[in-house]
């Protein structure tokens, strides 16, 4: 039987709990999300028909602070996935040491089949329906797969209409003119770049000779690729849902970003007018390329027991959440492939979300230099902690990051005591 995403996350937690001798009661608590809400969201389509979409918000843990995590719009979104992602958020916030617990939300829908007007209605109705459990001190949503600043602006507006006043700090990842933070849009990609450069340094590899393949050309993949190219790495392959592009001499990422995002509608890479050394490859081929670094920055479960054996990269940096299944993780570890885990590598987004929330509360906004400097300090500290723990405990960086996070969450639970 194929293991569910949440099953995979629980297996990791169980292993680490055993290793750190976690109290069995606290272990039980951390295995169970605190609160889950499923909503049926009706909207009137542009043609007058009524359609009902299913949406979720899962709050895994509020032990360390308000719950925090994005909202995704995807046809495959389901409760198991959102539960897994909410759990990973608690661990991600603990590794980075930002004072949040974890949550995640999503709507099962295909956003490419909805007009902008329909997406706005869907977002606002979803916001209204999960309003009873969210709030600036309770649970603060943010963008994730197929949602962005515009979505967060709509979300914020819906909540504000209910409250009777503008509630900027209900979401992060907002547009700059609505209380957003400089650098938030680029933050996850920037964090992927920072952790990639850091692991290359630790492994004593020459950044300028590094060949990288990036799966996924959304917010994380495209910006991560661009920033790594600026650092001198060669991005030899990128992909989106339609497939990938390969150029052994390195792709021109700014050109590709202009092609995909420059017009009114997002363009697919499969329609890109290729030049001499460029060729089309499938997503599966991209994962198996003989590169120095592979960055899966699309969806979960991309590297599984069926293809893990064929991964040839020396290093995998997880831009996406959960791109490697538990079974595949074991295979890659046996092959001595160095993995920088998601809860570390892609935490840049939630770290700058935290900065946005802090700036909003103080109504005092930082320069881009301040944002990027603070992001780098937090991410490099988290990276070093995980690296040191991995070496001290002789475990993978994933296990090390989970150990650090689980200890922090468990300690918070212990300090608070159980209510009532």
- With H, G, I as helix, E, B as strand and everything else as coil, classify residue 105: strand
Shortest reach from residue 169's CB to ligand GLU, in Å: 12
- 244 or 322: CB nearest ligand GLU: 322
Residues 6+ apart with CB under 8 A from 112: none
3-state helix, strand, coil in the chain (%, to 5): 50, 20, 30
Q: Which residue, 81 or 144, is less far from ligand GLU as judged by CB?
A: 144
Residue window 87-106: x/- pattern of binding to ligand GLU, with contact defined by CB under 6 A: -----x--------------
Per-residue contact flags (x/-) with ligand GLU for residues 161 to 190, judged by CB under 6 A = -----------xx-----------------
Number of CB atoms found within 10 A of residue 313's CB: 24
Please state, in angstroms and rounded to a whole number, the distance separating the CA atoms of residues 89 and 60: 8
**Closer CB to ligand GLU, 210 or 321, in the complex:** 321
Closest CB 323 distance from ligand GLU, rounded Å: 12
| Euclidean distance between CA atoms 245 and 243, whole angstroms | 7
Applying CB under 6 A, the span of 64-72, 195-203, 205-213, 250-258 interacting with ligand GLU comes to 64-72
**Distance in Å, CB of 154 to ligand GLU, minimum:** 17
250 Rama sector, left if φ>0, alpha if ψ -120 to 50, beta otherwise: left
> Looking only at residues 216 through 255 of this chain, which bind ligand GLU when binding is defined by CB under 6 A?
none
CB-based contact 227:185 (threshold 8 Å): no
Distance (Å, rounded) from C-alpha 141 to C-alpha 127? 10
Q: How far is the CB of 130 from ligand GLU (least distance, A)?
A: 15
- Exposed / middle / buried, residue 18 (Cβ in 10 Å: 0-12, 13-18, 19+): exposed
- Looking at residues 135 to 164 of the shown chain, list those that interact with ligand GLU (rule: CB under 6 A): 142, 144
Q: Report the site for ligand GLU in 340-359 (rule: CB under 6 A).
A: 346, 349-350, 353
**To which H or E segment does residue 318 belong?**
none
Per DSSP (E only), the strands in 28-113 are: 35-44, 50-61, 67-74, 101-108
Q: How far is the CB of 353 from ligand GLU (least distance, A)?
A: 3
Interface with ligand GLU (CB under 6 A), residue from 120, 146, 321, 325: 321
Give the strand order in the sheet containing 139-143. Answer: 35-44, 50-61, 101-108, 67-74, 139-143
* Residue 97 falls in which region: left (phi positive, over 0), alpha (psi -120 to 50) or beta: left
Active-site residue, 104 included: yes
Tokens 């509630």 correspond to 167
Identity of the residue, 67 or 253, whose beta carbon is nearer to ligand GLU in the bound complex = 67
CB of 101 to ligand GLU, least distance (A): 11
Kindly state whether residue 70 participates in binding ligand GLU, applying the rule CB under 6 A.
yes
Residue 116's closest CA among 265, 250, 259, 263?
A: 265
Residues paired with residue 44 on neighbouring β-strands, in sequence order: 50
Token output for 407:
């200890």
Per CB under 6 A, the list member of 33, 55, 66, 69 interacting with ligand GLU is 69
Q: Of these residues, 104, 121, 124, 326, which one is catalytic?
A: 104
**Total chain residues near ligand GLU (CB under 6 A):** 13
Interacting stretch for ligand GLU, rule CB under 6 A, among 67-75, 105-113, 281-289, 374-382?
67-75
Nearest-approach distance from CB 173 to ligand GLU, in angstroms: 6
Active site amino acids:
104
> Site residues (CB under 6 A) for ligand GLU?
68-70, 92, 142, 144, 172-173, 321, 346, 349-350, 353
């Amino acid at each position: 039987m194929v293991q569910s995403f949440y099953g995979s996350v629980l297996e990791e937690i169980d292993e680490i709990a055993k290793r750190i001798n976690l109290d069995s009661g606290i272990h039980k608590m951390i295995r169970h999300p605190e609160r889950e809400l499923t909503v049926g969201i009706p909207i009137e389509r542009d043609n007058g028909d009524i359609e009902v979409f299913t949406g979720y918000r899962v709050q895994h843990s509020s032990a360390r602070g308000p719950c925090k995590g994005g909202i995704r719009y995807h046809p495959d979104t389901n409760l198991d996935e959102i539960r897994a992602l909410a759990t990973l958020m608690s661990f991600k916030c603990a590794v980075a040491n930002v004072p949040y617990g974890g949550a995640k939300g999503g709507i099962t829908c295909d956003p490419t089949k909805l007009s902008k007007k329909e997406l706005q209605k869907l977002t606002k109705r979803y916001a209204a329906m999960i309003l009873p459990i969210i709030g600036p001190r309770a649970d603060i949503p943010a963008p994730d797969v197929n949602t962005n600043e515009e979505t967060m602006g709509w979300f914020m507006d819906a909540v504000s209409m209910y409250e009777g006043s503008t509630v900027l700090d209900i979401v992060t990842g907002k547009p700059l003119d609505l209380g957003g933070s400089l650098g938030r849009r680029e933050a996850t990609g920037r964090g992927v770049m920072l952790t990639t450069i850091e692991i290359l340094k630790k492994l004593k590899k020459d950044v300028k000779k590094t060949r990288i393949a990036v799966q996924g050309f959304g917010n994380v993949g495209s910006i991560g690729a661009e920033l790594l190219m600026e650092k001198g790495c060669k991005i030899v392959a990128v992909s989106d849902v339609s497939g990938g592009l390969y150029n052994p001499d390195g792709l021109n990422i700014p050109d590709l970003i202009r092609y995909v995002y420059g017009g009114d509608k997002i363009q697919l890479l499969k329609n890109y007018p290729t030049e001499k050394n460029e060729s089309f490859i499938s997503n599966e081929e991209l994962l198996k390329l003989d590169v120095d670094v592979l960055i899966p920055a699309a969806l979960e479960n991309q590297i599984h027991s069926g293809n893990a054996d064929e991964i040839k990269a020396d290093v995998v940096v997880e831009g996406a959440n959960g791109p490697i299944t538990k079974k595949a993780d074991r295979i890659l570890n046996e092959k001595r492939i160095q993995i920088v885990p998601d809860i570390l590598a892609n935490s840049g987004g939630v770290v700058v979300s935290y900065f946005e929330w802090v700036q909003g509360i103080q109504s005092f906004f930082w320069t881009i230099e301040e944002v990027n400097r603070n992001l780098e300090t937090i991410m490099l500290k988290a990276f070093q902690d995980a690296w040191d723990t991995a070496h001290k405990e002789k475990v993978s960086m994933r296990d090390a990051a989970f150990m650090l996070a689980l200890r922090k969450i468990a300690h918070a639970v212990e300090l608070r005591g159980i209510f009532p």
